């Protein structure tokens, strides 16, 4: 009989069905890294969303046979250590193809139309004191006719492009392989940054992509350009971003992710109080529909592995 342990059940606010094979199930609302070994003692299957599974812990878990990641990102699991022990690792793919792109455009629209600044004006009573029927103190831009640059043209990047087309935007993208879409302009990163009115990031975080967007890259962007990140916080040098936002050398940024989560109080983006910067607490993925899809796919992965036909292995 398999023993399954979910280390951070509260990270998934959806119904998780019972796997269709004999098993013992234990879940915890959350788990600290120093509690991992004790809680996984005797477990054959570990489920984790964001709880780290490092090599030192994996070496002390002789019964562990599978790690089911309740997310797409795998940077919290030591994959090399799992391979060395022949531990199967599966993740969840393409479950948030509606939720993340919609959040991306929520950030984009709020920034382009200066909603935060106008909401602050209304809250401060400035509209009530106005001599005109409206306030026009902050510039408002349209999306139609502007260029949307997508960095990472996978499933999410393509869905963002689809929404961009609906708003009348021109689509440019970076991608490792040649693109076969006639209406997508494939560009190297530097050219995409320099020519786009909006840059949206859709890459995994690894050693090749960490701080992909730093001071030099931000310096290439147009003065009115927006940077949207609903992917991974470590893709962007946060100190460099804070500096250009304070200096007014790009138009604004909308972020749903930070390099460490929960963030350290000293993170420079937390201290920003600017109408052209929006920070949300890693919720782009978390619509009710997306979370239920994730929960169903999570159990699908475990059942497939138990049946000897594993899928979504990383």
261 included as an active-site residue:
yes
Which position among 112, 147, 232, 238 bears the catalytic label? 232
Report the 10 Å Cβ neighbour count for 250.
21
> Which three-class secondary structure state does DSSP give residue 104?
helix
Return the structure tokens found at 231. Answer: 């992917």
CB-based burial of residue 314 (10 Å sphere; 0-12 exposed, 13-18 middle, 19+ buried)? Answer: middle
Dist. CA 61–CA 65, nearest whole Å: 9
Give, in degrees to the nearest 5, the angle at Cα 16 between 230 and 61. Answer: 85
- Whether 210 sits among the annotated catalytic residues: the reply is no
Task: With beta carbons less than 8 A apart as the criterion, state whether 184 and 208 touch.
Answer: no
* Catalytic pick among 54, 181, 261, 271: 261
CA angle 280, 272, 262 (to 5 degrees): 45
Contact 18, 39 (CB under 8 A): no
Residue 130 to residues 115, 125, 126, 136, 140: CA-CA distances in angstroms? 18, 9, 6, 10, 19
**Two tokens at 260?**
């460490």
- Containing 287, the helix (H) or strand (E) segment is none
Cα torsion through 175, 261, 211, 114, rounded to 10: 80
> Where in the sequence numbering do the catalytic residues fall?
232, 261, 282
């Amino acid at each position: 009989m398999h023993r399954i342990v979910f280390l951070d059940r509260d990270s998934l606010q959806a119904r998780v069905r019972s796997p269709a094979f004999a098993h013992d199930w234990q879940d915890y609302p959350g788990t600290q890294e120093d509690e991992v070994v004790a809680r996984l003692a005797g477990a054959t299957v570990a489920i984790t969303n964001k709880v780290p599974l490092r090599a030192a812990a994996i070496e002390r878990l002789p019964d562990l046979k599978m790690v089911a990641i309740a997310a797409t990102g795998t940077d919290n699991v030591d994959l090399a250590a799992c391979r060395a022990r022949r531990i199967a690792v599966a993740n969840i793919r393409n479950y948030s193809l509606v939720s993340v792109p919609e959040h991306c455009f929520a950030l984009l629209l709020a920034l382009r139309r200066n909603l935060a600044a106008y909401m602050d004006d209304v809250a401060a009573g400035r509209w009530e004191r106005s001599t005109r029927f409206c306030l026009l103190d902050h510039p408002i831009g349209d999306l139609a006719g502007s260029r949307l640059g997508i960095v990472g043209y996978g499933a999410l990047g393509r869905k963002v492009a689809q929404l961009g087309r609906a708003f009348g935007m021109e689509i440019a993208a970076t991608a490792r392989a040649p693109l076969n879409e006639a209406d997508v302009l494939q560009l190297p990163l530097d050219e995409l940054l320099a020519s786009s009115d909006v840059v949206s990031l859709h890459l995994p975080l690894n050693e090749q992509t960490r701080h992909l967007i730093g001071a030099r890259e931000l310096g290439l962007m147009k003065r009115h350009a927006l940077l949207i990140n609903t992917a991974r916080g470590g893709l962007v040098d946060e100190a460099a971003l804070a500096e250009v936002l304070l200096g007014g050398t790009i138009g604004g940024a909308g972020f749903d992710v930070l390099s460490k989560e929960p963030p350290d109080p000293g993170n420079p983006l937390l201290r920003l109080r600017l109408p052209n910067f929006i920070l949300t607490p890693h919720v782009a993925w978390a619509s009710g529909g997306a979370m239920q899809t994730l929960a169903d796919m999570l159990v699908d992965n475990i059942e497939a592995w138990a049946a000897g036909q594993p899928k979504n292995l990383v």
